[in-house]
Amino acid sequence: MRTLLLLIATGMLLAGCSRPKSAVGSAPGKELTPEQYQLLSDKDKIAYKNVLIRVPETWGGALLPPHKGPYDSTIDKAVHGGDIRTLMGLYNQALFELRHPRVKVEYIPFDMWSPTFPSVLAVAISSNRAPSYYIARDLPATIEKGMYADLTDLMKQWDQYLLQPEGSRRQGTVNGRIYTLAGNELGAEVIRFRKDWFKEAGIFNEYGEPGPRTDWTWDDFRAIAKKLSDPSRKRYGYCGEMGDFKSTGGTGVDYYIPDPAGKKTWVFNQDDPLILQALQRSRDIVNKDKSVNTSVSTTWYEWHQEFDAGHAAMIQSFAPHVPNEFLRSPRKFGEDKPYGDTVGMAPLPRGSSGLSGMEAITNPVGFDPTLSKEQLAAAFEWCKDWFYGDAFANRVRQANADARAKGNVSTVYSEVLALPYKPNEQMLDKPLAEVFPKDYLRTYNIIRKSPAKPLPREFGLKEPGKRDMDRAMIAMYAEAITTQIDLKALLAKTANLVNATQLNFRGKDDAANMQRYLDARSEYYRKNYPRFFSTAWQPRLTKFYVVR
């Protein structure tokens, strides 16, 4: 009995000594400042952190090495192994948590670049194990599937919202609600080319540098590819996936147009002669000119290896990859061939009436729709910090220090070149103009200035999934290239397929919305591409864009 009383008394004494519970639990709405948070016990600190955000390791996070090896701990391994990137990742994690006491940041392995990403993401969302944010592909179909949280309120309060490329803002907006945030890598599809081969062949741009003109057309592209092909040296003018050819039809041609019968929203654009022309050109450059190397069995990565191995003069790439590679592998083509003198970057060719298909895009970021309001706000803050805030500045410092120690150029310059946001401070050792070749900077200027086309979704019109349409178009171009099928029959076959599947829908108020959308398109062309507007758009508008 005496022992029991003693235990009760000791318990009461300890309870009296402990911090009042109200500091943590009894006032759930009360936010502690970072200073107040520091006064909590370890146990209370853990309990107070109840807003969890999961950051993917490949996109903002940094994981410690999986094994400690001969070191005492994995942190020791990072420290003694000179892995300052990971350590800076941990520093940023701690700094963010210090500033946001209720938030706990967890770095998780999550690969967003593999072909299995969509299935992995679907399962992760369903099982509440998804990262707090991830790349938003196949818009707007995935928005309609409810795969992203609504960011409208957060976006409207954000001072850098308007700095995002217009195209990116439009991509993630449906019916006035915003679902995606532009990632930190602004770019566009560009042509990467061999400067040394252009020089050998005497092909120079308007600035007197080896390379295509910045306003080159698909016909120029075809002639250049033919000129640079040299079977005796196993060289092609161009190499790439069959899907690349759909861009040749993308200069002003829509693959789907308003349904003239008014039964569905859209139908496949079967009769437009420009599509027929694009198919014919693709077939000819592969089979007649034999200047393009393409195959269904070769992947994007393998084509880039072909280009690097000196088997092709041109290849289509996403713009940020070129400056990144320039910094990462400056001697990739040999000691006597510096990357910047060997590999150039040019915008995609235009259509014959001057329309550019180039659109500035970023990898849009979508947020897990199952996040609570607090989690969403925290994840959004994390992205801002990572894109241009203190986490960004710390990464720049770390990358610069790393490069100085190793005696090379920091790869962070390419990140800054492609950054759509405005960092808080200027932290580079030297200006970008001193780092990159002129054609890289010029192409980036063109990308930044490229206007963004209005999108149907902004006018309340439903669109097919981009990836679904792309797949159907890739199949059409592949069939045009690998068979002798009559191209009109191929268009009819594709129309039959696409109309029955991807375009098999009709929305409310389609006619009125469609008219507003087409008016916006007309205005866009009139303002940005007057020659295309008068010679190509207006005649086709009256012929193929009948609104019912």
Partner 1 sequence: MAAAVSGIGYKRAAAWAFSAPAILCQFFFGWFPVLFAFYVGFQRYYFVKQPEFVGLRNLQSVAADPLTVTVFQNTIYYSILSIGLTFIVPIFVSILLMEMSRKTIRWMMLLWFIPVASTAGIAIWKYLYNPQLGLLNGILKGIGLPALKWLDDPALAMLCLVLPGLILFGPGLIYIAALQNVPEELYEAAELEGAGFLRKVRTVTLPRLRPVIAMMLIFSIIGSMQVFELPFIMTGGGPGYATTTVVMYIYNLAFLSYDLGKATALAIVLFFVIMTIIVLQRKFFREDLDT
The nearest distance, CB 198 to partner 1, in angstroms, is 23
* DSSP single-letter state for residue 105: E
The nearest distance, CB 148 to partner 1, in angstroms, is 9
Helix (H) or strand (E) holding 362: strand 361-362
**Which of 92, 132, 142, 450 touches partner 1 by CB under 8 A?**
142
Nearer to partner 1, 482 or 522 (CB): 482
The nearest distance, CB 457 to partner 1, in angstroms, is 16
**Which of 58, 74, 411, 482 touches partner 1 by CB under 8 A?**
482
**Which of 168, 293, 414, 450 touches partner 1 by CB under 8 A?**
293
Interface with partner 1, residue 479, by CB under 8 A: yes
Nearer to partner 1, 401 or 500 (CB): 500
Collect all residues with Cβ–Cβ distance below 8 Å to 36 and sequence separation of at least 6. Answer: 23, 101
Nearer to partner 1, 174 or 518 (CB): 174
Both structure tokens of 46: 């853990």
Nearer to partner 1, 74 or 295 (CB): 295
| Binding region for partner 1 (CB under 8 A) out of 82-90, 323-331, 402-410, 467-475 | 467-475
Interface with partner 1, residue 145, by CB under 8 A: yes
Residues numbered 483-512 forming contacts with partner 1, rule: CB under 8 A: 483, 496-497, 500-501, 504
Nearer to partner 1, 259 or 402 (CB): 259
* DSSP single-letter state for residue 204: B
| Binding region for partner 1 (CB under 8 A) out of 119-127, 219-227, 319-327, 340-348 | 119-127
**Which of 122, 201, 427, 492 touches partner 1 by CB under 8 A?**
122
Q: Which positions from 426 to 465 touch partner 1 by CB under 8 A, shown as an x/- string?
A: ---------------------------------------x
Interface with partner 1, residue 297, by CB under 8 A: yes
Residues numbered 23-42 forming contacts with partner 1, rule: CB under 8 A: none
Nearer to partner 1, 241 or 439 (CB): 241
Size of the site for partner 1 (CB under 8 A): 39
**Which of 50, 298, 522, 528 touches partner 1 by CB under 8 A?**
298
Residues numbered 336-375 forming contacts with partner 1, rule: CB under 8 A: 369-370
Phi, psi of 293 (to 5 degrees): -100, 120
431-459 b/e (C-beta count within 10 Å ≥ 16 → b) = eeeebbbebbebbbebbeebebbbbbbbb
Beta strands in 143-280 (DSSP E): 173-174, 177-178, 180-181, 186-187, 189-194, 236-239, 256-258, 266-268
CA distance 412 to 419: 10
The nearest distance, CB 137 to partner 1, in angstroms, is 9
Interface with partner 1, residue 408, by CB under 8 A: no
Torsion angle, alpha carbons of 110, 113, 116, 117, to 10: 50
Single out the residue of 362, 350, 356 nearest to residue 320, CA to CA: 362
* Amino acid found at 162: L
Measured at the alpha carbon of residue 382, what is the angle toward residues 370 and 375, in degrees to the nearest 5? Answer: 25
Interface with partner 1, residue 284, by CB under 8 A: no
The nearest distance, CB 426 to partner 1, in angstroms, is 41
Interface with partner 1, residue 471, by CB under 8 A: yes
CA distance 138 to 461: 16
**Which of 62, 147, 361, 503 touches partner 1 by CB under 8 A?**
147
The nearest distance, CB 260 to partner 1, in angstroms, is 21
Nearer to partner 1, 48 or 148 (CB): 148
Cα 223 to Cα 76, 124, 217: the distances in Å are: 58, 48, 10
| Binding region for partner 1 (CB under 8 A) out of 118-126, 158-166, 207-215, 431-439 | 118-126
Specify whether the CB–CB gap between 131 and 121 falls below 8 A.
no
Phi, psi of 345 (to 5 degrees): -135, 130
Nearer to partner 1, 259 or 385 (CB): 259
Q: Is the dihedral of CA 143, 544, 285, 473 positive or negative?
A: positive
Interface with partner 1, residue 312, by CB under 8 A: no
- Helix 273-287 vs helix 487-500: crossing angle, to nearest 10: 120
**Which of 78, 481, 487, 536 touches partner 1 by CB under 8 A?**
481
Specify whether the CB–CB gap between 499 and 267 falls below 8 A.
yes
Both structure tokens of 135: 């790349």
Both structure tokens of 106: 């967890």
**Which of 267, 345, 417, 478 touches partner 1 by CB under 8 A?**
478
Q: What is the DSSP string of 415-438?
A: HHHT--S--SS---SS-GGGTS-H
Both structure tokens of 320: 């940020």
Rule CB under 8 A: which residues touch partner 1? 116, 118-119, 122, 125-126, 138, 141-142, 145-147, 234, 242, 293, 295-298, 311, 369-370, 465, 467-468, 471, 474-476, 478-479, 481-483, 496-497, 500-501, 504
